[in-house]
Structure 1
Amino acid sequence: MDELGKILVIIPTYNERTNLPLITDRVRRCTPDVDILVVDDNSPDGTGELADRMAATDPQLKVLHRTAKDGLGAAYIAGFRWAIAQGYDVMVEMDADGSHQPEQLDSLLGALGSADLVLGARWVPGGRAVNWPKYREAISRTGNFYARHMLSIPLHDATGGYRAFRRETLEKLDLDTVDSRGYCFQIDLALRAYRGGLRVVEVPITFTDRVHGTSKMSQAIVLEAMWRVTQWGVRGRLRRR
């Protein structure tokens, strides 16, 4: 991984007090050389305060506090901006709830050697979801099928949130114009990278449903994603005409 430069794993949190020590410990054991940035959205359960205490004894753990819960996309963009300002070369998205396996991070980073953006994918050969409710799997598969065909992109898991970016990739995606808030943020960045001619690669991952805490998924998030994908797809077809 030395050839990739400085690597930062960005973990957004909102009420993840129980999960945070578990996920950071796994990252540290699997990839001890990477740094971790916790981006906390003023969690009422004290996740931010816990992160500060952990960072006080771990120089590789950083904490970025935001004043309110403003969506996954905004949290990641804040983390990306912080990372770029601090001189990191690679930024990794990872959920706090343990659904993304730190043990598979080496696989994503290895693929980044010949790519600009690597997506951890559940719906490709070798990928899978474990202990996930059937309705959640159906929503994810349907949403990805719709995005793939509506947007004409050869990606099977554009909604996944376990991914690795080169700094140069993020600098080319015009983050100032990204206003997606929920999970459609993931589709937005993947679409920008693909349409921008960047090398986007999918590698299989095992996604495991959270054990502790509650999911942030909601009907509003699903509807936002469907509406925006439809808008992007129609605009793209009009431009091609």
Structure 2
Amino acid sequence: MAAGAGAPLRPGISVVVPALNEAANLAAAVARCQAAARRHFPDHEVIVVDDGSTDATGQIADRLATSDPRVRVVHHDRPRNLGYAYKAGVGLARFEHVLMFPGDNEGTDEQLDALMSRAGTADVVINYISNAEVRGWRRRLVSRSFVVVVNTLFGLSLRYYNGTALHRTALIRSVTIRTDSFAYQAEALVKLLRRGHSYVEVGTPIAPRAGGRTKAFRLRNAIDVGRALCRLVVDVRR
């Protein structure tokens, strides 16, 4: 991932909020991120990436940005997938730390506090879900299988790969994340940890969705993730 142009990174945190048809959840997600950032950092911004939504997500994001200069918005003309949205947000980040928070507001205050309070304690602060039972059994099975496969392929022992993680902005920008799929964070973590960068894991609960449907459990996403893993194996073994 190429470093963004512009002024040097400032003390604080950039929160990237990807959103695809999350009109029911976006405003609450942004408010939650800002409240947590104020508790832990001297300054912050929230970068909403409207990933080609067809509902009112884009309009809601624009209203939030109009009322608060710390909220910035990127609009995609069509859905580009979660990894693409994340990379777009990271490329625009203006602060020393960056994390992703989902526009569906499935995360919690406890999650954000746990991640943000540990900023600077390691190169990467990795979150895993401590109450996976709030998700359906199919999604739990897929998630667990993915963790086992990635750990086995790359000799790692993480508890979770597809959640949010708090990165040093300069460091995550040094990683080439090739996939645009839901496996973007797994690719980043594998490459960083195999370089020897430090990490800490923290478990927190997630909240049930208030509305809308998850985008993760779709055939296209499963195919994209499979391709990303195959490519990652090749990249790592070069």
Range class of TM-score, shorter chain: 0.7 to 0.9
Amino acid at match of 1:167: T
| Equivalent in the alignment of 2:103 | 96
For residue 48 of structure 2, what is the aligned residue in structure 1? 38
- Identify the residue that residue 169 of structure 2 maps to in structure 1: 167
Q: Gaps (5+ residues) in structure 2?
A: 1-9
The alpha carbon displacement at 1:193 in A equals 0.8
Query: 1:114-145 deviations in whole A, cap 9, x for unaligned?
Result: 211111112xxxx2224210111111011111
1:149 to 149, 152, 158: 152
| Residue 118 (structure 1) aligned with residue 118 (structure 2) | no
Q: Distance in 2 between matches of 1:180 and 1:151?
A: 17
Match of 1:219 in 2: 219
Q: Is 1:18 equivalent to 2:24 in the alignment? A: yes
Partner of 2:115: 108
Counterparts of residues 61-140 of structure 1 (less than 5 Å): 61-83=71-93, 87-122=94-129, 127-140=130-143
Q: Is the 1:111–1:203 contact (alpha carbons within 8 Å) kept by the matching residues of 2?
A: no
Counterpart Cα distance in 2 of 1:193 and 1:34: 25
Cα distance in structure 2, aligned partners of 1:42 and 1:227: 23
Where 1:5 maps in the other structure, the secondary structure is: strand
CA RMSD of aligned residues (A): 2.0
Q: Percent identity?
A: 27
Shift of 1:221: 1.4
Instruction: Give the equivalent residue in structure 2 for 1:207.
Output: 206
Instruction: Return the offset for 1:81.
Output: 0.7
Cα contact 2:82–2:181 (8 A) shared by 1: yes
Give the 3 Å change call, closer, same or farther, for CA 230–209 of structure 1 in structure 2.
farther
* Conserved? CA contact 2:44–2:95, under 8 Å: no
In the superposition, the TM-score normalised over structure 1's length comes to 0.85
Report the AA paired with residue 132 of structure 2: A
The offset of 1:235, in angstroms, is 6.2
Once residues 232 and 135 of structure 1 are traced to their aligned partners in structure 2, the CA distance between those partners, rounded to angstroms, is 25
Whole-Å separation in 1 of the counterparts to 2:231 and 2:63: 44
List alignment gaps of at least 5 residues for structure 1. Answer: none
Using the alignment, how far apart are the partners of 1:101 and 1:24 within structure 2?
A: 12
1:48-88 CA deviation, whole Å, 9 max, x = no partner? 111111211112211112222111111111111111xxx31
Distance 1:215 1:227 in 2: 21
Aligned to 1:181: 180
Matched pairs, number: 224
Q: Structure 1: which amino acid aligns with 2:44?
A: V
**Residue of structure 1 in register with 2:14 after alignment:** 8
- How high is the TM-score relative to the length of structure 2? 0.86
